[in-house]
Amino acid sequence: MASGQQHQPSVPRWTPSGPRTAGGEAADGGVVRFDKAYDHGGSSMRSTDHGFPFGSGRSLEPPPFLLEISVAAENGGVRNGNGPVSRDSSLRRPDQGVVLAWEDLWVSAGGGKGSRVPILCGLNGYARPGEVLAIMGPSGCGKSTLLDALAGRLGSSVSQKGDILINGRQQKLAFGTSAYVTQDDVLMTTLTVREAVHYSAKLQLPSAMSAAAKRERAEETMREMGLEGAADTRIGGWAHKGISGGQRRRVSICIEILTRPALLFLDEPTSGLDSAASYHIVNRITRMARREGMTVVAAVHQPSTEVFGLFHGLCLLAYGKTIFFGAAADTSQFFSVSGFPCPSLMNPSDHFLRTINKDFDKDIEEGMDGRRMSTAQAIDALVNSYESSAHLEKATRQIQEMRATGGPAVKKEGKPSFVTQSLVLTKRSFVNMYRDLGYYWLRFAIYIALCLCVGTIYHDVGHSYGSIQARGSMLMFVAAFLTFMAIGGFPSFVEDMKIFGRERLNGHYGVASFVIANTLSATPYLALISVVPGAIGYYLTGLQSSIEHFAYFAVVLFTTMMVVEGLMMIVASAVPDFS
Ligand SMILES: Nc1ncnc2c1ncn2[C@@H]1O[C@H](COP(=O)(O)OP(=O)(O)OP(=O)(O)O)[C@@H](O)[C@H]1O
């Protein structure tokens, strides 16, 4: 049987759940209701309807995505959960969205003895403006690798083959044209949520926007991410407990969606969130994507039924191979006709992932016809079913159309000026150094203790010829200890570099602003921790009459630390994935 025909009989009937606007948004303000049930493989499932253009086989024929975005824009923006969104809150015209496609994409890593181990095996797919594409699959199946490949962030240890098309052309994503929320939350732990978001807004939003508009954008985005309650709490780290893991996740997302980027990659946006928070976050991102014409690609682990219902497209992977690519709403039907129907009352995404996870291969899946098969066989059956299905045919056709149609090159969004960025970074860095005990204060205390020790050991060392040896050994002692201590702030510096790495890769600012800001903000602290211990040593050793000793304690220490820190910064800036 032709695969296109295979999928016809049990197409779920999706109908709109209530009055809708021309843009397909629910007229009640975008609140999605779960009031449509359909029979499927003997199981009764409830799901959502969004009238999205991604899928096929729906009774509601939605308008094309660009028309949809234009309508929303013409209407002055659609409502979000927090009241009307003003028309000028969008930075992008509807035709400025990014269409991302990948064709025959292979990624492999060195497997020892010169062999290559494939991580992604000939994937095809696409993501379009206004839509959220979910990448799902068992742990280690290649979700993050696919996101990295699409975002142009693969490390040098892996090689990539195949085409990645942006607006139908092969072009490299420049810094700042996409935003990527990584799996780990890399945040400045000394800042409050509000400070972190506001500094980010000042660093990223274009100078054409007024300060008030930037503040409003920051507040609005915090509200979208449900962070109002935690706005004035410090993010916190190992030394100071701050916001929760789920709130950190939301802060990470909040910072990256401030500019409403044309292309947004999310690596596990809902990890650490409870099911209600996951639903609200994905729902708000979905609405934002539609409203702002953003293309969103998200690697997701285990969405609830409601969250799964929010995705437009699904790319389901198993060990580097495509199990399914198409409309998320068509996945259940695909599994059903491939011989793996979802049991009644089971979360479909749980079923998909359980069917294709062979890490615990003692569990034997039972096929529809009663045959028992291993998970590896189940995966092969699904891969074969997908390869002969209309879904692959449709994906291939769409990619060809995108290639033929082409589109404009992706432009960088406007940014604040170099001076503004340097000033904002200097202020942020100064606040961070002031609040971080490990950065300078700890070293300050240790330097004072060391200088007290040196001062008492060589107390009143004198100026006679007999004291020359004592003065020489004192200078060596001071040089060795105090210079060594210059790297005492290294742990805080490494944390700083991780933040710099993330922000730089996302195009928030460049290396020069960072180096200037860190040097300026560090100077007062370095001066303080050079002069105070220097003065103590100078006084105790009784070398008041010889000014060069003070210079040694203070100026040499200061310049040594400046040089060490400057070198660390330059080396770290040259290596983006320093962390
Ligand atoms: N640079 C690399 N060198 C060698 N192997 C790699 C490299 N990067 C990824 N891999 C391997 O590729 C596979 C896929 O990794 P990836 O991080 O993409 O998985 P994932 O689906 O995101 O997993 P998780 O859901 O657990 O985060 C893993 O087996 C991993 O060990």
- SS3 string of 253-298? HHHHHCCCCCEEEEECCCCCCCHHHHHHHHHHHHHHHHHHCCEEEE
Radius of gyration of the chain (CA): 29
Residue 222: exposure state from Cβ atoms within 10 A (0-12, 13-18, ≥19): buried
Which pLDDT score is estimated for 287?
93
Comparing C-alpha atoms, which of 492, 444, 409, 418 is closest to residue 189?
492
Give CA angle at 522 (520, 524), nearest 5°: 90
Low-confidence ranges of the chain (pLDDT < 50): 1-94, 363-364, 367-369, 545, 547, 577-579
- CA 170 to centroid of ligand 1, rounded, Å: 25
Question: Rounded to an integer, what distance in angstroms lies between the CA atom of residue 387 and that of residue 368?
Answer: 20
Ligand 1 near 155 CB (within 6 A): yes
Probe residue for ligand 1, chosen from 106, 107, 135, 145 as the CB with the greatest number of ligand atoms within 8 Å: 145
Return the residue matching tokens 């780990």: 184
Which pLDDT score is estimated for 57?
35
- CA 146 to centroid of ligand 1, rounded, Å: 10
Which pLDDT score is estimated for 446?
80
DSSP state, 131? -
- Measured by CA distance, the residue closest to atom 28 of ligand 1 is 140
Return the residue matching tokens 């070198």: 567
Which pLDDT score is estimated for 438?
77
- CA 109 to centroid of ligand 1, rounded, Å: 10
Determine how many CB atoms are found less than 10 A away from the CB of residue 174: 13
Residue 97: exposure state from Cβ atoms within 10 A (0-12, 13-18, ≥19): buried
Question: Rounded to an integer, what distance in angstroms lies between the CA atom of residue 164 and that of residue 449?
Answer: 58
Which pLDDT score is estimated for 116?
80
DSSP state, 8? S
Which pLDDT score is estimated for 52?
34
- Measured by CA distance, the residue closest to atom 19 of ligand 1 is 140
Comparing C-alpha atoms, which of 520, 320, 298 is closest to residue 425?
520
- SS3 string of 408-473? CCCCCCCCCCHHHHHHHHHHHHHHHHHHCHHHHHHHHHHHHHHHHHHHHHCCCCCCCHHHHHHHHH
Ligand 1 near 143 CB (within 6 A): yes
Ligand 1 near 154 CB (within 6 A): no
Give the number of the atom of ligand 1 that is nearest the alpha carbon of residue 155. 1
Helix 211-224 and helix 193-204, axial crossing angle in degrees, nearest 10: 130
- Measured by CA distance, the residue closest to atom 31 of ligand 1 is 140
Beta strand 36-40 with 43-47 is antiparallel
Ligand 1 near 109 CB (within 6 A): yes
> Interface pTM (ipTM) of the complex?
0.95
- CA 321 to centroid of ligand 1, rounded, Å: 13
Would you state the torsion angle of the CA atoms of residues 334, 338, 341, 342, taken in this order, to the nearest 10 degrees? -50
- CA 218 to centroid of ligand 1, rounded, Å: 34
Ligand 1 near 158 CB (within 6 A): yes
Question: Rounded to an integer, what distance in angstroms lies between the CA atom of residue 397 and that of residue 388?
Answer: 14
